[in-house]
Chain A
């Protein structure tokens, strides 16, 4: 329990808050506490208040000081400002459909936090964030793909929007999706939760990829999330990308197809598969293609099957192939830095945070927080030299 105030200091009177505000605030605290799966007793213990006091705060009966409120927010694991701001519409709709008593999954909670962080940075009008690029998406006239052919066509359109040629491998998918306003973060949320999720923001979107998966699966999951973003799904959490049955969840299955088509474009894969098989055999062809397009063998196998490039025996074999160290040396494979490994933040977001630090609009501590631990204090830019005229800022 923290000491609230020094008893010997003179205390001034509290200002009051209108009843309706205290009520609304109390309700927001209660909702956030429940989503964090905390009891009133848990919260009270964390902030040094009796359970009955927490109950009164949530009921709008007991007013709460700003400092107490910041303690409550910290204990719940949300930013204090979330008590005063309307969440993005996608979150509001999702939460109202889930009901108040639902506890957020880890990925839901992280997604909501990231959405808030992006909206906060966006509120400071930092050009580097680049969410203006999202405006191209609604203008592209995209509709939900109802057939596999439409999923393939959507992949072609997505490449066009991201200024990628029809056949080139997508080296850094997270950079490409950012170019149309989808900011992709990764975090190892453990294997027992969803693969990825996406929330539409007021402008742009945010995706979170569970980096517990290997790189090929992470990229496939992000490609799938891009599909949700393009068709303007407001809130999505995907548990098993690429395992969707066409019968049970046709739209998810279409987006799985879209994801594979995006990463492994039809024309390029068809031509290269045939050439490489003829030259070096199926195993080498599979390893070279998977390496070049940065997909896992399961994705490549499914793609070869759906494009009619391999019979079922070959598809089964491809699924089992593993790239060895010898393959990397003998085939002279390029091994890039792994995308979306561990905790990562999208480049435009990091750039925007660094701009805010340089301009001294946020503290260095807050910047490290926003950067999700991907930066150390020493990685942040040094405080800029003051211009001579700014010296006058230091005198009254």
Chain B
């Protein structure tokens, strides 16, 4: 069995944040019929994170999130290339698996960090991020703007780069036409 090209493949960061907020159900709703995958490298990062953040465990326990691992040479070679681009001090292995899946199976990857997103673009991999998923959740009336604003501000306090400043989510999505007034 291979990974279908309509699958979503998640990096550790976006999943961890959805899990911490208790919004995994929202993600499942947004995915709809699309299968959701994580590579084993992301599963490992979540497993490590679960030691001090029990919410991450919810991702691993979610039966609808499939863990993918591959012994294919092409996959390993792609993975190795992304290790060369991203891994230092043992960090960022998760993203390597995500990008390798995007490259090999032509599916959409969900990554928030700027560098792997840039690399995905360079490689022609379909890439999206937390912000558009949150907008979609608001549009689908699964989350309120107030809830998302709070998460967006939390993300900005950490290592996340988002294209607006704290408190700026609402203005950003309006100015860029991501949401209309009546959707907020």
Contacts and interface: CB of A to CB of B under 8 A. Distances in A.
Interface of A: 2-6, 8-18, 21-22, 25, 63-67, 69-70, 73-74, 79-81, 83-84, 120, 359-370, 383, 386, 390-396
Interface stretch (B11-19, B20-28, B59-67): B59-67
Most buried by B among A84, A369, A396: A396
Contact of B72 (A5, A17, A365): A17
B84 interface: yes
Interface in B73-92: 73, 75-77, 79-81, 83-92
A7 to B, nearest CB: 9
A365 B92 contact: yes
Nearest to B69: A65
Nearest to A120: B84
Interface residues of B, number: 65
A393 B128 CA distance: 8
Interface of B: 1-3, 37, 39-41, 43-44, 46-47, 60-73, 75-77, 79-81, 83-93, 96-97, 100, 113-119, 121-122, 128-129, 131-132, 135, 161-163, 172, 176, 178
Nearest to B67: A9
Contacts of A67: 39-41, 44, 69, 79, 93, 97
Contact of B87 (A6, A8, A366): A366
A383 B72 contact: no
Contacts of B121: 393
B69 A11 contact: yes
Contacts of B122: 361
Contact of B91 (A3, A21, A83, A365): A365
B71 A6 contact: no
B92 to A, nearest CB: 6
A362 B69 contact: no
A74 B85 CA distance: 15
Contacts of A361: 85, 115, 118-119, 122
Given A21-B73, A366-B85, A9 B129 contact: no
B103 to A, nearest CB: 12
Contacts of A370: 88
B135 A12 contact: no
The CB with the most chain B CB atoms within 10 A, among A9, A66, A73, A365, is that of: A66
B85 A9 contact: no
B85 A15 contact: no
A3 B85 CA distance: 25
B163 A394 contact: yes
B66 A16 contact: no
Contacts of A362: 85-86, 115
Contact of A14 (B64, B70, B135): B70
A6 B114 contact: no
Contact of A11 (B66, B73, B114): B66
B70 A65 contact: yes
Contacts of B87: 70, 363, 365-366, 369
Contacts of A66: 39, 41, 69-71, 75-76, 79-80, 97, 100
Contacts of A367: 88
Contacts of A394: 129, 131-132, 162-163
Contacts of B172: 391
B60 A9 contact: yes
A365 B89 contact: yes
